[in-house]
Chain A
Amino acid sequence: MLNKYRKVMLIDDNEVDLKINSKIITISKLFDEIILCKSGEEGLSYLNNHIDDEENLPDFILLDIQMPEMDGFEFLEVFKKFPKPLKDKCLIAILSSTLDFGDIKKAEASRYVIKLLKKPLFPKELEEVLNRYLIN
Chain B
Amino acid sequence: MNAPTVRVLYIDDEENNLHAFKASFRRQYEIYIANSAAEGLKILQNVSVHVVIADQKMPQTTGVEFFKNIAETYPDPVRILLTGYTDIEALADAINHGDIYRYITKPWNDLELHNSIKNAYDAYKTKIDLRNKIAELEKTNNELNRFIYSISHELRAPLVSTLGIVNVVKLEGLFDENEYWRLIETCSNKLDYYIQKTLQYYKNNKNISEITPIDFSKVVPELIELYSYVDKETNFHVDIKQEETFYGDAFRIEVILGNLISNAIAYQKESEENKKVNITVSVNRSSAEITISDNGMGILNEHLEKIFTQFFKSKTNHGSGLGLFIVKEALNKIDGKISVSSDTTDGTTFIITIPNVK
Which residues in A have some Cβ–Cβ distance to B below 8 Å?
14, 16-17, 20-21, 23-24, 27-28, 66, 97-101, 119-123
Query: Which among B152, B172, B196, B199 is the interface contact of A27 at CB below 8 angstroms?
Result: B172
Query: Which among B153, B163, B171, B172 is the interface contact of A98 at CB below 8 angstroms?
Result: B153
CA distance A121 to B161 in the complex (A): 10
A119 touches B164 (CB 8 A): yes
Residues on B with beta carbons closer than 8 Å to the beta carbon of A119: 157, 160-161, 163-164
6 A-B residue pairs with CB within 8 Å: A24-B167, A28-B171, A98-B153, A120-B160, A120-B161, A122-B167
Q: How far is the CB of A48 from chain B (nearest CB, A)?
A: 28
A66 touches B153 (CB 8 A): yes
Closest residue of B by beta carbon distance from A22:
B168
Query: Which among A16, A24, A66, A101 is the interface contact of B171 at CB below 8 angstroms?
Result: A24
Q: How far is the CB of B225 from chain A (nearest CB, A)?
A: 12
CA distance A99 to B160 in the complex (A): 12
Closest residue of B by beta carbon distance from A120:
B164
Q: Which of B159, B171, B203, B251 has the most CB of A within 10 A?
A: B171
Query: Which among B153, B157, B168 is the interface contact of A24 at CB below 8 angstroms?
Result: B168
Residues on A with beta carbons closer than 8 Å to the beta carbon of B311: none
Residue B135 CB within 8 A of the other chain = no
Closest residue of B by beta carbon distance from A65:
B153
Given known A-B contacts A66-B153, A97-B153, A123 and B199 have beta carbons under 8 A apart:
no
**Seed contacts A20-B164, A21-B164, A120-B164; 15 additional CB < 8 Å A-B pairs:** A14-B157, A14-B161, A16-B164, A24-B168, A24-B171, A27-B171, A28-B171, A97-B156, A97-B160, A101-B251, A119-B160, A119-B161, A120-B160, A120-B167, A121-B164
Given known A-B contacts A17-B164, A98-B152, A99-B152, A123 and B171 have beta carbons under 8 A apart:
yes
Given known A-B contacts A99-B196, A101-B251, A119-B160, A20 and B203 have beta carbons under 8 A apart:
no
Residue B165 CB within 8 A of the other chain = yes
Residue B149 CB within 8 A of the other chain = yes
B157 touches A66 (CB 8 A): yes
Given known A-B contacts A17-B161, A119-B160, A100 and B168 have beta carbons under 8 A apart:
no
B157 touches A97 (CB 8 A): yes
Residues on B with beta carbons closer than 8 Å to the beta carbon of A20: 161, 164-165, 167-168
Q: Return the 6 tightest CB-CB contacts between A and B, nearest first.
A: A120-B164, A20-B164, A97-B160, A119-B160, A99-B152, A27-B171
CA distance A24 to B43 in the complex (A): 74
B152 touches A100 (CB 8 A): yes
Residues on B with beta carbons closer than 8 Å to the beta carbon of A28: 171
Q: How far is the CB of B227 from chain A (nearest CB, A)?
A: 14
Q: How far is the CB of B253 from chain A (nearest CB, A)?
A: 14
Query: Which among B156, B171, B172 is the interface contact of A99 at CB below 8 angstroms?
Result: B156
CA distance A23 to B168 in the complex (A): 7
Residues on B with beta carbons closer than 8 Å to the beta carbon of A23: 168, 171
CA distance A24 to B167 in the complex (A): 8
Closest residue of B by beta carbon distance from A66:
B153
A99 touches B157 (CB 8 A): no
CA distance A23 to B167 in the complex (A): 10
Q: How far is the CB of A14 from chain B (nearest CB, A)?
A: 7
Which positions 107-157 of chain B face chain A at CB distance < 8 Å? Answer: 149, 152-153, 156-157
Contact with A along B162-178 (1 / 0, CB 8 A): 01111110011000000
Residues on A with beta carbons closer than 8 Å to the beta carbon of B168: 20, 23-24, 27
Residues on A with beta carbons closer than 8 Å to the beta carbon of B156: 97, 99
Given known A-B contacts A20-B161, A27-B168, A27-B171, A101 and B153 have beta carbons under 8 A apart:
no
Residues on B with beta carbons closer than 8 Å to the beta carbon of A17: 157, 161, 164
Residues on A with beta carbons closer than 8 Å to the beta carbon of B165: 16, 20
Q: How far is the CB of B156 from chain A (nearest CB, A)?
A: 5
Q: How far is the CB of B113 from chain A (nearest CB, A)?
A: 55
CA distance A120 to B168 in the complex (A): 10
Q: Which of A28, A97, A101, A121 has the most CB of B within 10 A?
A: A97
Q: Which of B156, B164, B203 has the most CB of A within 10 A?
A: B164
Residues on B with beta carbons closer than 8 Å to the beta carbon of A100: 149, 152-153
